[in-house]
């Protein structure tokens, strides 16, 4: 797992377990292909396209202690 993927996995796990988040949104400026690839690898789906960027959404799994750890290989 790369550094960006590991960092995102830690963020999502914390957001779900500690903050009760159920969704995470990210905006990517058009042309930033590396960020788009990373978001798609992590399970984000595009939900809106604007003039300068695309909005992505990741629905977090409620069972954060197990499902998020398995999905991203993060040692929770």
Give backbone dihedrals phi and psi of 2, rounded to 5 degrees, phi first.
-75, 170
Q: With contact defined as beta carbons under 8 Å apart, do 68 and 16 qualify?
A: yes
Listed residue (31, 33, 23) closest to 57, CA to CA: 23
Q: Give the orientation angle of helix 33-41 with respect to helix 3-19, to 10 degrees.
A: 50
Give the predicted TM-score (pTM) of the model. 0.73
Q: pLDDT per position in the chain (76 positions), as tens?
A: 688 888 888 888 888 888 888 899 999 999 999 999 989 988 899 999 999 999 999 988 644 455 555 555 554 4
């Amino acid at each position: 797992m790369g550094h960006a993927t590991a960092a995102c996995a830690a963020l999502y796990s914390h957001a779900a377990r500690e903050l009760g988040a159920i969704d995470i949104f990210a905006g990517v400026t058009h042309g930033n292909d590396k960020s788009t690839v990373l978001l798609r690898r992590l399970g984000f789906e595009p939900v809106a396209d604007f003039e300068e960027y695309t909005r992505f959404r990741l629905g977090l799994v409620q069972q954060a202690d197990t499902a998020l750890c398995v999905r991203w290989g993060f040692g929770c």
